[in-house]
A and B are shown apart, each in its own frame.
Chain A
Amino acid sequence: MKTETLTLWLDDRLGIKSIAALAQKKEVPLHRHSIWYYFGGMTLFLFSVQVGTGILLLLYYRPSAETAFESVQFIVTEVQFGWLIRSVHSWSANLMIAALFIHMFSVYFMRSYRKPREVTWLSGVLLLLLAVGFGFSGYLLPWNKLAFFATKVGTEIAGVIPLVGKPILRFLRGGDDVTGATLTRFFGFHVAVLPAITTAIVGIHLILVQMHGMSVPPSLEGKNLKKMKFVPSFLLRDLIGWVLAIGALAALAAIFPWELGEKADAFAPAPAGIRPEWYFLFMFQTLKLIPAKVLAFDGEVLGILAFAVGGLIWFILPFLDDPAKPRRRTLFTLIGVVVVLYIVALTIIGFIS
């Protein structure tokens, strides 16, 4: 009786029944490709781990060139469970990018971006860029040698873009070189600017998913598929995945703690064997392989422009595909396979070379 009164009281003020009805509306179709539906939720879960561990790290982290490295050192050596929180933050970031890539390519191959989900795809690609931005800005924060040179190279790449490159470079670095000013900026991006934008776009992304429901691959469209309620049935299955993810994070953090390396030094050569995070490796390896001059152009400029154009095409993909044309379907599948193979192959080459 009492809970009923409370429910009624809350419903009058907050309209919780309509929210419950909205949650009840969502159904997940069950078919042989349903496994891919888990990866969007997994990405979101790992993002929430990032928010939680990130807030904890903020309690001790000090964002300046003089104190950043020492404060992270303090976190991992002195603070109780500091090693765990920091390693979980780093590992979860990597697993989140991995889950995001799997989610994106499953959406690509199942053509879930087709009408009316074009805007969902656009918001998703923006979230990929934001995730990469989180990775790039967060990587610098421990202020170690690897991070210092990764940031030098990464921002220099932005500077190579014709016309707008130089102002972008100065905006990112907070000056002409990577210094303490860059660290302060990246800290601001990492903990304020990017979270605010990401929260808004994640919100839009989720509202659109709720609005349009789950997409079914073209080959199964129109078939009478079994469906499962999202709340509570599919959510409970999601939950199993998340519990497994927590286990994986704890194990990875304990067995392979994230290294801190040596403090950054603006007057020391780049250490041998330097390489960026794995999700940048295919681009890094491409830049390594392009010759200095291609015809009259700088090789690096061509490479960077090619990636920019590729990214743009990837962004507007839903408007290029036409499900009514079976030939284009085959072409798109082929392009997807080539892209995946290229990324995998160059990542492996980057690791072993």
Chain B
Amino acid sequence: MKGEAHQVHDTHNSAGTCANCPNNGPPQPEYETRSRRRFLNYLLGTGVGTTAIAIFYPILKFIMPPHVIEAAQNSVSAGKIADLALNSGKIFKFGNKPGILIRTEKGELKAFSAVCTHLDCIVQYQPEKKQIWCACHNGQYNLSGQNVGGPPPRPLEEYVVNTRGEEIVVSKT
């Protein structure tokens, strides 16, 4: 601080140039150059900051994938009854998600979302145990879609099954 205060009175250094003299004009009081410096620093700081935001905001937005709007599909044809044997199941496409269609031993038709509620794997029908099973973490569901064993936290979403002649039509409730 002492040295700085000294500079106010004697602003000419050994080389004969002046640190506080704009364009070699008359010396300026130190408080003025200081507040000017603070102002310039502020401008520079906000300039750099806003430039950074202008660069990184679009980048951040770019790396997040856009939401694709899907055509709402409420019902889908899941195949023909004759193609599905008793006590068996198959995966069908419900829009861009997999569904599972099961024909029980008694010939009853059941349909659920095939996405395991645990960690997103695709489930399958186990005819020998008459249950729906996920191979990833050994999750088990009964024929009502209820989670009955393993880690799944929720039941599978159930769909409504109707038949139109031979055709099986699955729709969301």
Interface on A for B, CB 8 Å cutoff? 149, 152-153, 156-157, 160, 167, 170-171, 173-175, 177, 181, 266-274, 284, 287-288, 290-293, 298-300
Contacts and interface: CB of A to CB of B under 8 A. Distances in A.
6 contacts: A153-B119, A267-B92, A270-B135, A270-B136, A292-B151, A299-B153
Contact of B114 (A167, A269, A299, A300): A269
Contact of B91 (A152, A269, A273, A298): A269
Given A274-B136, A287-B137, A175 B122 contact: no
B172 interface: no
B121 A291 contact: no
A181 B67 CA distance: 13
A155 to B, nearest CB: 8
Across the A-B interface, the 3 shortest Cβ-Cβ residue pairs? A269-B124, A156-B120, A270-B135
Residue of A170, A287, A288, A292 ringed by the most chain B CB atoms within 10 A: A292
B98 A152 contact: no
B151 A270 contact: no
B121 A152 contact: yes
Contacts of B138: 288
Nearest to B125: A269
A351 to B, nearest CB: 15
B120 A273 contact: no
Contacts of A267: 91-93, 98, 122
A157 B98 CA distance: 20
Nearest to B139: A292
Given A156-B120, A171-B63, A274 B135 contact: yes
Interface of B: 63-65, 68, 91-93, 96-98, 114, 118-124, 134-138, 147, 150-153
Nearest to A304: B119
A266 to B, nearest CB: 7
Contacts of A266: 96, 98
A287 B118 CA distance: 10
Contacts of B134: 270
A268 B137 CA distance: 16
Contact of A174 (B65, B120, B150, B152): B65
B65 A149 contact: no
Contact of B122 (A181, A269, A291, A299): A269
Contact of A175 (B65, B98, B118, B120): B65
Contacts of B68: 175
B124 A300 contact: no
Contacts of A270: 121-124, 134-136
Contacts of B136: 149, 153, 270, 274
Residue of A266, A267, A298 ringed by the most chain B CB atoms within 10 A: A267
Residue of B93, B120, B123, B134 ringed by the most chain A CB atoms within 10 A: B120
A57 B136 CA distance: 30
Contacts of B147: 292
B151 A152 contact: no
B98 A272 contact: no
A167 B60 CA distance: 12
A161 B135 CA distance: 23
A293 B151 CA distance: 8
Contacts of B122: 149, 267-270
Given A173-B65, A270-B136, A291-B151, 6 more contacts: A152-B119, A152-B120, A170-B65, A177-B96, A269-B124, A270-B122
B119 A300 contact: yes
Nearest to A154: B119
Contacts of B63: 171
